[in-house]
């Protein structure tokens, strides 16, 4: 069958069962948008390409399906870069399709030309510059395969305008054959047996689950391992929801803003069972002092992550779900009763700063959102900063894919467009975006997108008038010298929302929190809640950068 290149793109997306694309048109993708016009694929027009990238990212995390983005050449493509890097750092499958100037003009500094394949080489799992229309079917088949297998991640396809207009034979491949790409899926049986013996022999084991638990859909098997072995579980920020937050074996998040129980347990463990995580510096603290008494088992799909930051005694490269399923066939529980008693005592030491009911504190607001949404399927997205860590500490995530946030890159401005993507992927869910007043203003223009498509996300802005996390570090580590962290001049967010036709709710006292949340939940469309919280609240517990995990500041007595 003969097709234009732009028609091939649409047909390829239909073969990949893509139903929604996020994007922003421009001159170099006019043929593509013309072909999209007659397609059944839904297009969400954002107000900025970065918004489209984050929306597709949120769509992918909430659904487990790859997100898709369209953008034009030059500035359209470069506006995607932060979104691409964000997806790369958190291993999110997104296929980015960009227009490019026609092939005779490539390299001539033509209007809106940018070398987007060169620019994104370090932040994509793979990218393509298509110069022959006949290559389009194979490239799209490969792109979706690469994005969604092994360690997942973004793939970019750059298509010159003349290639979009060219005509060629379209036969969509059923399979792919990429000689240099063979992810290891099955963990080595001998290593899995060693893993089972080490767990049986351990008296103080701790499981650390990461984002790989969520992306591989292995939470059920991780919970089975924990419960049969009576092994306490901590999760990294990216792993939250991997096991239910209410489970008695759950210790909370680990690391810089981890709980005392999680951090102390890792420091006294004799065995670390690391599952689908990468020993990020926010998780380990000082590498030299991390888990000083423990042997380490590390299971991960990406061999490059094993041994990168932490020496590993039993490395296992493979899919987390398949490895855990195989482990359970040979698994025998050890003796952990005394260990669990010791951990129980640490749990009683937790101090969360949410006990003061007289002022409007963020932990109390997030706990109220968590409590008032227990009866419904809820997805929470966040921006980046203090509110993100408070959400990790105070929202009880019971299911995987219910937390959507920027973990690795830490992208301010991510949460709101990601909420639009998550809500599009899961229309039956209630979607909350918990944001800061600084973060929200980085992609505030997407209020138009939410209003235009009546996407009913509930935005909860923790408005403290500061770039809160930076201010906290300035207070703790720079003598309270607040250099350029005061957000004077911010707008009235309720009036901004109302200007877009969106309901706005202002909250300035603790007694109005639940009323505001319930009112937002009753609105059929999008809502912006503007919580005027205490200006200088700090997120505790906290471990100072590059310090041992058991040197915890908990906020009491100013420490």
- Strands 2-4 vs 167-169: parallel, antiparallel or unpaired: antiparallel
Helix axes 49-63, 415-425, angle to 10 degrees: 50
Q: Please state the φ and ψ torsions of residue 427, each to the nearest 5 degrees.
A: -65, -20
- Contact present, 125 and 153 (Cβ < 8 Å): yes
Q: Is 21 helix (H, G, I), strand (E, B) or coil?
A: strand
| Helices and strands, number each (H, E), in the chain | 23, 22
- Strands 205-209 vs 271-275: parallel, antiparallel or unpaired: parallel
Cis peptide leading into 35, omega within 30 of 0?
no
Residues composing the chain: 559
Q: What letters, b where the CB count within 10 A reaches 16 and e where it falls short, cover 408-426? A: bbbbbbbbbbbbbbbbbbb
Tell me, yes or no, if 472 is annotated catalytic.
no
Q: Please state the φ and ψ torsions of residue 467, each to the nearest 5 degrees.
A: -80, 90
Out of 89, 267, 469, 529, which one is annotated catalytic? Answer: 469
Q: Which pairs with CB-CB distance under 8 Å and at least 24 residues apart come from 184-190?
A: 184/301, 184/303, 184/317, 184/318, 185/301, 185/318, 185/319, 185/322, 186/318, 186/319, 186/322, 186/326, 187/299, 187/316, 187/317, 187/318, 187/319, 187/322, 187/323, 187/326, 188/316, 188/317, 188/318, 189/326
**CA angle (187 as vertex; 186, 190 as ends), nearest 5:** 130
C-alpha distance from residue 23 to each of 26, 200, 380, 417 (Å) = 10, 51, 23, 12
Nearest to 52 by CA among 28, 10, 87: 87
Tell me, yes or no, if 469 is annotated catalytic.
yes
Tell me, yes or no, if 105 is annotated catalytic.
no
- Contact present, 218 and 224 (Cβ < 8 Å): no
Distance CA 216, CA 299 (A): 12
Q: Is 332 helix (H, G, I), strand (E, B) or coil?
A: coil
Judge residue 556's burial from the number of C-beta atoms within 10 Å of its C-beta, 0-12 exposed, 13-18 middle, 19 or more buried.
Answer: exposed
Q: Please state the φ and ψ torsions of residue 56, each to the nearest 5 degrees.
A: -65, -35
Distance CA 442, CA 440 (A): 5
Out of 14, 112, 445, 553, which one is annotated catalytic? Answer: 112
Nearest to 300 by CA among 421, 159, 187, 402: 187
Out of 49, 305, 367, 446, which one is annotated catalytic? Answer: 49
Out of 1, 42, 111, 350, which one is annotated catalytic? Answer: 111
Tell me, yes or no, if 529 is annotated catalytic.
no
Out of 4, 141, 161, 295, which one is annotated catalytic? Answer: 161
Residues near 510 by beta carbon (within 8 Å), at least 6 away in sequence: 357, 358, 359, 360, 361, 364
CB atoms within 10 A of CB 523: 13
Tell me, yes or no, if 49 is annotated catalytic.
yes
- Contact present, 271 and 297 (Cβ < 8 Å): yes
Tell me the catalytic residues.
49, 111-112, 161, 469
């Amino acid at each position: 069958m003969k097709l234009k290149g732009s028609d091939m793109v649409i047909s390829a997306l239909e073969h990949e069962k893509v139903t929604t694309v996020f994007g922003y048109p421009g001159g170099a993708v006019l043929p593509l948008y013309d072909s999209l016009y007659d397609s059944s694929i839904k297009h969400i027009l954002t107000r900025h390409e970065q918004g489209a990238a984050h929306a597709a990212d949120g769509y992918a995390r909430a659904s487990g399906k790859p997100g898709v983005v369209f953008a034009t050449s030059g500035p359209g493509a470069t506006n995607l870069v932060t979104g691409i890097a964000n997806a790369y750092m958190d291993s999110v499958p997104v296929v980015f399709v960009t227009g490019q100037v026609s092939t005779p003009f490539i390299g001539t500094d033509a209007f809106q030309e940018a070398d987007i394949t060169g620019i994104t080489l370090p932040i994509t799992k793979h990218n393509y510059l298509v110069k022959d229309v006949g290559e389009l079917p194979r490239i799209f088949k490969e792109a979706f395969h690469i994005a969604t297998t092994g360690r997942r991640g973004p793939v970019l396809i750059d298509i010159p305008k003349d290639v979009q207009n060219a005509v060629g034979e379209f036969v969509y491949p059923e399979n792919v054959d990429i000689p240099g790409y063979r992810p290891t899926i099955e963990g080595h049986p001998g290593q899995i047996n060693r893993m089972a013996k080490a767990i049986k022999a351990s008296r103080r084991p701790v499981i650390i689950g990461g984002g790989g638990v969520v992306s591989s859909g292995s939470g059920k098997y991780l919970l089975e391992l924990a419960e049969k072995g009576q092994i306490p579980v901590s999760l990294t920020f990216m792993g939250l929801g991997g096991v239910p937050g209410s489970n008695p074996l759950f210790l909370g998040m680990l690391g810089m803003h981890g709980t005392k129980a999680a951090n102390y347990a890792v420091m006294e463990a004799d065995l670390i069972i690391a599952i689908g995580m990468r020993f990020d510096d926010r998780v380990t603290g000082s590498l030299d002092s991390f888990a000083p008494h423990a042997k380490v088992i590390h299971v991960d799909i990406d061999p490059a992550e094993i041994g990168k930051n932490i020496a590993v005694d039993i490395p296992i490269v493979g899919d987390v779900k398949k490895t855990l399923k195989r482990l359970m066939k040979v698994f025998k529980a050890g003796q952990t009763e005394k260990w669990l008693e010791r951990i129980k005592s640490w749990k009683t030491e937790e101090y969360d700063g949410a006990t003061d009911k007289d002022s409007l504190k963020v932990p109390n607001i997030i706990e109220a959102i968590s409590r008032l949404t227990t009866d419904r399927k809820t997805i929470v997205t966040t921006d980046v900063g203090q509110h993100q860590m408070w959400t990790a500490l105070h929202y009880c995530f019971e299911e995987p894919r219910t937390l959507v946030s920027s973990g690795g890159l830490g992208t301010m401005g991510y949460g709101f467009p990601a909420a639009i993507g998550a809500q599009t992927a899961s229309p039956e869910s209630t979607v909350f975006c918990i944001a800061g007043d600084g973060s929200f203003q980085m992609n505030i223009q997407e209020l138009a997108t939410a209003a235009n498509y009546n996407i009913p996300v509930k935005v909860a802005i923790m408005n403290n008038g500061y770039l809160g996390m930076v201010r906290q570090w300035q207070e703790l580590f720079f003598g309270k010298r607040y250099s350029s962290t005061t957000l004077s001049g911010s707008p009235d967010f309720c009036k901004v929302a109302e200007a877009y036709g969106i309901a706005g709710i202002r909250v300035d006292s603790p007694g109005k929190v639940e009323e505001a949340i319930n009112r937002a939940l009753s609105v059929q469309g999008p809502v912006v809640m503007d919580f005027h919280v205490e200006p200088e609240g700090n997120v505790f517990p906290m471990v100072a950068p590059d310090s041992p995990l058991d040197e915890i500041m908990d906020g009491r007595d100013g420490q």
